[in-house]
Amino acid sequence: MQADSAIESAARRSSAKRKQILDAALAVFVAHGYVGTSTDQIAAAASVSKQTIYKYFSDKNGLFTAIITDVGDRIHNPFDELCLAMGTASEAVPAVKLLAEEFTASIMNPRVQEIRRLMIAEAPRFPELGRLYWQRGFERVLGSVAACLEVLDGRGLLSIAHPDMAAQHLTGMLLWIPSNRVMFCGPEQAPGTAELSTIIDQGVAAFVSAYRPEPRGQ
């Protein structure tokens, strides 16, 4: 019994140490990029020795791979729950606005933007990790947005023949300028609350107008 408790305690400490290194390393990679980051910098940021890093991750490549895999595993998809809300919505505009607000908040989160910039910069060096992040993150979220729109179509609030394409239209209007501005100009150029609100309201209005059902009797 005591042996089992000791093993569990050791496992918890090991897991906590691993997370400590991953969190510190992510901040260093975001600040300096893969090439500009050294294991010395990571060790200092994580308050561990380089030997500890090698023990857990073998080398810098292994550490970077573990970071992106861990980030992908922890991506939260808020749209799984929103499909239920689409089933009770009475009008298209507030329903689509709810989707738009959740999507914009998730993508424009400063940490998400940092990781996106890092992955875009390192995708040629780590194409498999780039695909993993895309599939577990943006692609999965986009599929959930499409599922929500399909519910609205089924209830006659919108007329959507191709939900996947419609999801691209909606998210493109919301994401194109705000996210790209951060990608090219840095986080200090991120739009404020008022600007994002305007982008959401105008994007929702344009989307609902484009996918409004034909009046009955025509």
SS (H, E, C) the chain: CHHHHHHHHHHHHHHHHHHHHHHHHHHHHHHHCCCCCCHHHHHHHHCCCHHHHHHHHCCHHHHHHHHHHHHHHCCCCCHHHHHHHHCCCCCHHHHHHHHHHHHHHHHCCHHHHHHHHHHHHHCCCCHHHHHHHHHHHHHHHHHHHHHHHHHHHHCCCCCCCCHHHHHHHHHHHHHHHHHHHHHHHCHHHCCCHHHHHHHHHHHHHHHHHHCCCCCCCC
For residue 216, tell me if it sits in a domain.
no
Domain count across the chain: 2
Are 146 and 159 within one domain?
A: yes
For residue 205, tell me if it sits in a domain.
yes
Residue 130 confidence (pLDDT): 92
Residue 29 confidence (pLDDT): 95
Are 60 and 87 within one domain?
A: no
Min mean pLDDT across 1-15, 34-48, 120-134 is at 1-15
For residue 218, tell me if it sits in a domain.
no
Q: Sorting pLDDT into bands at 50, 70 and 90, what band is 50? A: very high
Residue 130: give the domain boundaries. 76-210
Percent of the chain with pLDDT over 70: 95
For residue 119, tell me if it sits in a domain.
yes
Domain stop point among 72, 105, 133: 72
Tens of pLDDT, residue by residue over 154-163, are 999 999 999 9
Domain stop point among 45, 72, 99: 72
Domain stop point among 22, 39, 72: 72
